[in-house]
Amino acid sequence: MRVAAIVAYDGTKFNGFQGQPKVRTVQGEFEKVLKRIFKQKVISWGAGRTDTGVHGYGQVIAFDVPNERMTLENIKDALNANLPEDIYVRKVLKVRDKFSPRHEATKRIYHYFIYQNDEPNIFLRDRVWWFPYDLNIEKMRKAAKYLEGEHDFTTFKTGNDDRNPVRTIYRIRILKMRNNIILIRVEGHSFLRRMVRNIVGALVKVGTENWEPEYIKEILEAKSRSKAPASAPPQGLYFYSVLF
Amino acid sequence: MRVAAIVAYDGTKFNGFQGQPKVRTVQGEFEKVLKRIFKQKVISWGAGRTDTGVHGYGQVIAFDVPNERMTLENIKDALNANLPEDIYVRKVLKVRDKFSPRHEATKRIYHYFIYQNDEPNIFLRDRVWWFPYDLNIEKMRKAAKYLEGEHDFTTFKTGNDDRNPVRTIYRIRILKMRNNIILIRVEGHSFLRRMVRNIVGALVKVGTENWEPEYIKEILEAKSRSKAPASAPPQGLYFYSVLF
């Protein structure tokens, strides 16, 4: 039986999602627990990578269950009883054999939280980007419109990523929440490395009125990484959900 | 010049507020930074102790400034530039010489947050008490009334505390907030060791309908520590403010 776990994690103390030798990763911890529960190596597949410090809320991890007598509820409870305190399995669902979260995802949604206030809030320090300057939300929304649709996002990638730079963003919403929180919600098919954080960094440049909204169109069309502004920091970013 | 700093801290990684040799405490870190800034030992006085894992939002720490040329803003900035990421000075005020936060406080306010939901939220794990059962708020409010006023709180203390057990609670409010958060706000003159957490533990016993509200009066009058329920866990508790 193949199952998919919907997984939340606090990215603060992980070297990102993807399993790698010798460093603490979400997938590494998850597979360690699968091995403990099932007494054998169990391979897992995630719906997307996240970098160090980036959080998961709706990450999807699929794996084959070697013990056919366990119910979905048993599997969820066994995982949560064994996982470290910074990973939590919200749900376990049965999926069809060969289901691949990465290849079959049709939409990925990221949430980015900015705490816009003169003074920082230490209780949110690993959860949001503290930003002590004013942001013009209307201008940010106007700028975001230029990024929606299918584009070559070369300008907005960072690091090693030699995949096709053409990606589709379905929608970017910018919402003022309570308590000085601004939520930037980015929905797309799939994303390049650091693409969401680079987009947020650029939108904030517009929000501070250092850049006009139209300048986003210009840097996008330049297809040049040197045009990209600094990435927004990782702790404000959440891999929120995946649709199939 | 004597000043008072209004200090927030995330209690997760501290062995409580009060300075002690060889362990990491809020006061210990604060005095280390005072020494670094002023190049001499500077003694500090807090408004109240907090235990391991308990947070500060409005803790008050007084000290004498050896360098008379620094402004209050300079002092605040120097402290925040040197303090670790889990302590933040919200304000620095000039106070009169000999001002003692501990002796001159007329009211101390604690906030306790319960996250009442079937599923935990890992992003709140060090910030609230996750409580997955229903709570009858009306019964908790009725029970809290028995604790208001001047009483011998022997039943509600834990650990070594040989001070006078007679204390005055001005008011206890229980509020349903958004997103399944319940806030218990306790205002009093001063508190015994673990008194707020023991009160919250008892109120939750009433909330789950294991105890009738009137039973709180009975255990209070018994003046016996063996009647006390388990303490509420530390991570939900915030030393919210001090009035003088």
Q: Any idea what the CATH number is for the domain that residue B60 is in?
A: 3.30.70.580
Residue A133 Cα, gap to closest chain B Cα (Å): 18
Q: Which of A51, A64, A86, A97 is an active site residue?
A: A51
In whole angstroms, what is the distance from residue B159 CA to residue B101 CA? 24
* A123 touching B (Cβ < 8 Å): yes
Residue B57 near residue B240, CB atoms below 8 Å:
yes
Judge: B123–A86 Cβ closer than 8 Å, yes or no. Answer: no
Under the banding of pLDDT at 50, 70 and 90, the label for residue B111 is: very high
* Contact between A122 and B90 using a beta-carbon 8 Å cutoff: no
User: Quick check: ipTM above 0.90?
Assistant: yes
The residue assigned the tokens 């947050």 is B113
B182, B188, B192, B195: CA torsion to nearest 10: -20
Cβ contacts of A178 on chain B, cutoff 8 Å: 178
The chain B residue lying nearest A238, using CA atoms, is B123
- A86 contacts on B by Cβ (under 8 Å): 122
Chain A contact for B81 (CB, 8 A cutoff): no
Residue entry with tokens 């028995």: B146
Same structural domain for residues B118 and B64? no
Residues A127 and A76 in one domain: no
Closest B-chain CA to A91 = B119
Question: Does B209 have pLDDT greater than 90?
Answer: yes
Give the tens place of pLDDT for each residue, B25-58: 999 999 999 999 999 999 999 999 999 999 999 9
B238 is in an annotated binding site: no
Would you place residue B160 in the very low, low, confident or very high pLDDT band (cuts 50, 70, 90)?
confident
Q: B122 and A90: CB-CB below 8 Å? A: no
Domain edge (last residue) among A87, A103, A119? A103
Q: Which domain holds residue A97?
A: 2-103
The reply to whether A143 and A167 lie within a common domain is: yes
What CATH number did the domain enclosing A199 receive?
Answer: 3.30.70.660
Q: Are A101 and A46 in contact (CB under 8 A)?
A: yes
Query: Do A124 and A12 fall within a single domain?
Result: no
Q: State which residue of chain B sits closest to A80, comparing Cα positions.
A: B120
Of the residues A103, A127, A148, the one at which a domain ends:
A103
Check B88 against A55: CB less than 8 A apart: no
pLDDT at position A227 is 87
Tokens, residue A229: 């502004």
Q: What is the mean pLDDT of each run of 10 residues along chain A (244 residues)?
A: 98 95 96 97 96 97 93 97 98 96 97 97 97 98 98 90 91 96 97 96 97 97 90 98 97
Per the CB < 8 Å rule, is A88 touching B127?
Answer: no
Confidence of residue B228 (pLDDT cuts 50, 70, 90): confident
* Arithmetic mean of pLDDT, B92-108: 96
Query: Which residue's entry shows tokens 């947020």?
Result: A200
Per the annotation, the verdict on A51 as an active-site residue is: yes
Average pLDDT over residues B59-66: 97
Q: Nearest CA to CA, how far is A172 from chain B (Å)?
A: 24
Helix (H) or strand (E) holding A181: strand A181-188
pLDDT (0 to 100) of residue B162: 80
Residue B86 touches partner A, C-beta closer than 8 Å: yes
Regarding whether A90 and A128 lie in a shared domain, the answer is no
Domain count of the fold of chain A: 2
Domain boundary pick from A70, A103, A136:
A103
* Closest by Cα among A192, A217, A189, A187 to A202: A217
Torsion of CA A54, A58, A64, A67, to 10 degrees: 110
Beta bridge partners of residue A63, listed in sequence order: A3, A44
Same domain, A60 and A154: no
Residues 6+ apart with CB under 8 A from B194: B51, B156, B157, B158, B159, B231
The catalytic residue positions of B are 51
